[in-house]
Chain A
Amino acid sequence: MNIVEQDLIFSGENLILTNQRIIYWPEEDTLILSDLHLGKAAHFRKHGIALPKQVAERDIERLAKLITHYAAKQVVITGDLVHAGANKEVELFASLTLQFPETAFILIKGNHDRFIDKKLSAIGLHAVYSIWNMGPICFTHQYTRELADKWTISGHLHPGVRVQLPTKKYLRCPCYVVTEKQIILPAFSLFTGLDTWSIPENATCYAFFEDGFFKVG
């Protein structure tokens, strides 16, 4: 895995954005990600759309590698951990948490995470919140205006940018959307689409690809 990092000072904290769709917060030994959409491929299969199970396995493997790489003590998932109900792919997450008994997994509930409460401990989550403050930063799944005076990190949007190459071709890349007091995370799962339309005004997008970052806006 080729990890490219991009430093960002946010709320006075030093954060490391990576091209692996995850933020590392060294001060707190914490990894921050969003929109894992576990079980999405299995949900498709149940509806007669043949997608191989490696789709989910790959996301979990990436996460395991990143936890090992950064030796993270804590993983914060800002929502949409589970795509649509329990299925076998969701169990992959349970085995991941077993693999890292020293690491705390915290979920900020998203619109997709409807069943989580009951099975909370079964899949190894340490805590579930709808909104959660840690230090100066407020974690939420979906940004709302009421949070305007806080430093927020959220997900939900699956943000991306669409840039025109000199050749009249267009390139779409996932990105971190950064405004003065807000970060919107890219979706962690590779099996997700991009929203290039709903980027808030005055935002800087840290877009990334295989080998690096580029800044737009």
Chain B
Amino acid sequence: MEDTPGYRTVTEWMRSKGNTAFTFQQKAWAYYAKGYSGMIVAPTGFGKTFSVFLGVLIDFMNHPERYKKGLKLLWITPLRSLAKDLARAMQQAIDDIGLDWVVEVRNGDTTIKQKQRQSRQMPDVLLVTPESLHLLLAQKGRAHFFTSLQAVAVDEWHELLGSKRGVMAELALAFLRFKSPTLRVWGITATIGNLEEAAEVLLPHVKKKIKVVAKEKKKIDIIPVFPEEVEILPWAGHLGGRLVEQVVPIILRSKSTIIFTNTRSQSEIWYQLLLQAYPDFAGQLALHHSSIDCQIRQWIEEALGEGRLKAVVSTSSLDLGVDFKPVDTVIQVGSSKGVARFMQRAGRSGHSPFEVSKIYFVPTHSLELIEVAALKEAVKTQTIENRDPLVQTFDVLVQFLVTLALGGGFRPEELYPVIRDTHAFSYMSEEEWQWCILFITVGGSIGQNYEEFHKVVRREDGLLVVEKRRIAMLHRMNVGVIVSDAMMRVKFVTGGYLGMIEEYFISKLKQGDKFVLAGRVLELARVKEMTAFVRLSSGRAITPSWLGGRLPLSSNLSHFLRQKLASSTHAGTKEKELQFLHPLVVRQNEHSHIPAEDEFLVELIKTREGYHLFMYPFEGRLVHEVMATLLAYRISRLFPISFSMAMNDYGFELFSDSEIKLDQAQLQQILSEKNLMDDVLASINATEMAKRKFRDIAVISGMVVQNYPDQQKSNKSLQASSGIIFKVLEEYDPNNLLLKQAYMEVFNQQLEEPRLVSAFQRINKSKIIFKFATGFTPLSFPIKVDSLRQSLSSEDLLSRIQKLQHNNAQPIRRK
């Protein structure tokens, strides 16, 4: 390798830039030259891109005869915003080295003219998103695009894996490999918990493959921001505000700071808090989240990159994307919910390989300080979450099949083994495959129920194709798996556009209600079609709560949390965070108990309001929701009782105004893992949950049309909500695979069945500690004040409505 002309040219060029190749880069180049596919694991900022890209250049310079005119390297990246910068860097390298390759981008931002030119003559390197790649495959001339293709790189594979976009990538790769079996596929990923599996999903059944792991590690400095004194009864959410005084100096000391919050509402609040605490920030502080107008966001990103902003308050909207060189400090407000996310956010500061990423952790209640200790431990041991790949996502498959039918057609018998070779559909049965083909050709397994259905037709030569132009257009407009909530534009009455906000938030407001968006207090004037007209206002306002942002705690983090909490009772701990929390821990131990690692704590607290049953599984909000519902159901089988429930990431509460009479034996019984899933199914409304899951499935599979080719009114005739379609299918086509998929998604994602089962197994192995108290304990208090409560009762709809009538219900509606 070292003595090839390609290698010498490339390393010389690197030297001229003051760089030397990392060992993992050299290894990747060597394997690429030998015709291998592979996966590269390296932290951000260490030249992952060049490990693949330069490998291709070296191989080309050594064997120019193997590379024909046309597209040689296809580069898949999940982020549009990354593509432009990446293309620029690649073109720069090519020009410096003195090659004549052309690098271009193709995605939603590419002009039609440019796309047409590309379709006639492909560049040598093309950067695409999974969506734009699928759109390429939907073109009639797709075959000639890829005739010279040598390699495909999948950038940020960890971001794609575990999502339906990942399945899109799997399917496209399977098809490309089918067309050119010698194709080399290289994935690039950050460290995740299941690297082996990640490689297997990317490169299924590929014999010549290698995993290249960089030895270099990114150093992360985690600095907790301590409140002045520890609160014995931690109050969820309210502490953050007080710490703003300590956050201001951190921002002032730094060149440029990103403040990460978990929800849009929190980001709005922090933006206000910072401006109040330090008015001079005006003009230097920006707010960035997904409800803010796209152009404003772009401006903020540019300004941040050029160092014109002192700080940006953001949500996960800035987790990924181009590097902002001036950013040297990151502040995380509240739990990051996961190790990977925390490390990713930390990595937004201190970019160059050997710089240290600095991240401050601002707890929103003092218990969250335990999380700092847990995070430090997780980062030290590199215990990072898995990204579990999705399987049997038939919505994505049927979309892909129509895509292929559109781009010149396919033969089902030929394609079946190709699809079966992907990880996502390796469990697919022959019947399921046949169902998918029936779904796109005749509408469903009982064809006569779908007469006049037109989508994909079988030509006489056996090729499945799309013939109708209108169907082709509808499909192209809706390729992709990102389903957005129904969004409303927010505009000033006087004109001027502010951003987008979810319809369901606006639907809860009345005319004249005030809310905060984009850092401003707005008064709702009226709603017309999909636009909310507002006036600038002042005073008290509702901060929209967007439920979407409420990620549950990851199981990795919860494991370390339990561990740290258990060890917090040792007075001699060296961990600063735990030392700080000592008074709280003492109080908890005095009035109740701190559970050791092999213990499970249950508290029954009697107050003037009634009876509170608290449990602390530390398994994240979603699992707690299911557990709380399940336990309420099991208790109500022992004796009639109805509960209201509250939960956070640490535990949950069942509240009742009548006495909860439980003895230790009954407690064991309701916590049993016996008949677990049966009882869960009996206690929840699975149909309702599946209906919600079906929303995305309906859009992805093309049953609900999200985008229309033109904005004409006539399109309204094709609108139906996924809820109505769900009901129709439940009634008349219960064997529809897409329905079954909705239920499967409920089990795997909503109920998190595997995690739930293992939680119960753990609890059953633990010693159950049952404590009584007459006042709230430090652990129970944050749950108590958590506003997200829902109540469960055994009443049916009729009696609930009667109750409602009794209370003289007012309709929620707008004038």
Contacts and interface: CB of A to CB of B under 8 A. Distances in A.
Interface in B796-815: 797-798, 800-805, 807, 809-815
Nearest to A44: B718
Contacts of B798: 211-212
A23 interface: no
A42 B797 CA distance: 33
Interface stretch (B3-11, B99-107, B666-674, B785-793): B785-793
A55 B733 CA distance: 11
The 7 A-B pairs of least Cβ separation, nearest first, read A50-B443, A48-B455, A52-B449, A45-B453, A216-B811, A54-B732, A52-B732
Contacts of B807: 166
B803 A166 contact: yes
A138 interface: no
Interface stretch (B339-347, B720-728, B741-749): B720-728
Contacts of B452: 42, 45-46, 87-88
A50 B702 CA distance: 9
Contacts of B717: 40, 43, 83-84, 112
Nearest to B503: A197
B84 interface: no
Interface in A143-182: 161-171
A95 to B, nearest CB: 16
Contacts of A52: 443-444, 446, 449-450, 728-729, 732-733
Interface in B452-481: 452-455, 468, 470-471, 474-475
Contact of B728 (A55, A84, A205, A210): A55
Nearest to B800: A165
Given A50-B703, A209-B797, A165 B790 contact: no
Interface in A105-139: 112
Nearest to B807: A166
B805 A215 contact: yes
Given A167-B790, A215-B805, A50 B453 contact: yes
Given A168-B790, A193-B724, A215-B805, A48 B702 contact: yes
A166 B795 CA distance: 11
B811 to A, nearest CB: 4
A17 to B, nearest CB: 16
A163 B804 contact: yes
Given A166-B803, A167-B790, A169-B790, A50 B444 contact: yes
15 contacts: A45-B443, A47-B718, A48-B475, A50-B444, A52-B443, A52-B444, A54-B731, A55-B728, A84-B717, A166-B791, A166-B807, A167-B793, A193-B721, A197-B814, A216-B811
A165 B453 CA distance: 40
A40 B725 CA distance: 12
Interface string B162-182: 000000000000000000000
Nearest to B724: A191
A194 to B, nearest CB: 9
Given A47-B474, A165-B800, A197-B813, 15 more contacts: A43-B717, A43-B718, A45-B451, A48-B474, A50-B444, A50-B703, A52-B443, A52-B450, A52-B732, A54-B728, A83-B717, A88-B452, A170-B812, A214-B804, A216-B809
Contact of A49 (B507, B702, B791, B792): B702
A104 interface: no
Interface residues of B, number: 54
Given A199-B811, A209-B801, A45 B454 contact: yes
B474 A193 contact: no
A207 to B, nearest CB: 8
Contacts of A45: 443, 450-454
Interface centre among A44, A84, A171, A214, by most chain B C-beta atoms within 10 angstroms, is A44
B423 to A, nearest CB: 27
B615 interface: no
Contacts of B454: 45-48
B705 interface: yes
B235 interface: no
Nearest to A169: B790
A170 B450 CA distance: 34
Contacts of B451: 45, 53, 88
A72 B652 CA distance: 57
Given A88-B452, A166-B800, A49 B790 contact: no
Interface in A189-217: 190-193, 196-197, 199, 201, 205, 209-212, 214-217
B180 to A, nearest CB: 31
Contacts of A215: 805
B71 interface: no
B507 A167 contact: no
A211 to B, nearest CB: 5
A191 B444 contact: no
B628 interface: no
Contacts of A205: 811
A199 B798 CA distance: 24
Contacts of A162: 507, 811-813
Interface in B405-462: 439, 443-444, 446, 449-455
Nearest to B448: A53
A55 B732 contact: yes
B720 A191 contact: yes
B652 to A, nearest CB: 16
Contacts of A112: 717
A51 interface: yes
Interface centre among A40, A45, A193, by most chain B C-beta atoms within 10 angstroms, is A45
Contact of A51 (B725, B803, B815): B725
Interface string B708-738: 0000000001111100110011011100000
Contacts of B475: 48
B71 to A, nearest CB: 31
B527 interface: yes
A47 B439 CA distance: 14
Contacts of A54: 449, 728, 731-732
A21 to B, nearest CB: 14
Contacts of B468: 48
A199 B790 contact: no
A169 B504 CA distance: 12
Contacts of B719: 193
A168 B812 contact: no
B789 A49 contact: no
Contacts of B803: 166
Contact of A191 (B728, B792, B793): B728
B412 to A, nearest CB: 17
Nearest to A195: B813
Contacts of B731: 54
A201 B801 CA distance: 23
Interface string A13-56: 00000000000000000000000000010111111111111110
A53 B450 contact: yes
Contacts of B446: 52
A51 B814 CA distance: 33
A48 B702 CA distance: 8
Contacts of A166: 791, 800, 803-804, 807
A184 to B, nearest CB: 13
Nearest to B719: A193
B746 to A, nearest CB: 17
B464 to A, nearest CB: 13
B791 A167 contact: yes
Contacts of A84: 717
Contacts of A216: 809-811
A84 B717 CA distance: 7
Contacts of B813: 161-162, 196-197, 199
Contact of B471 (A47, A191, A197): A47
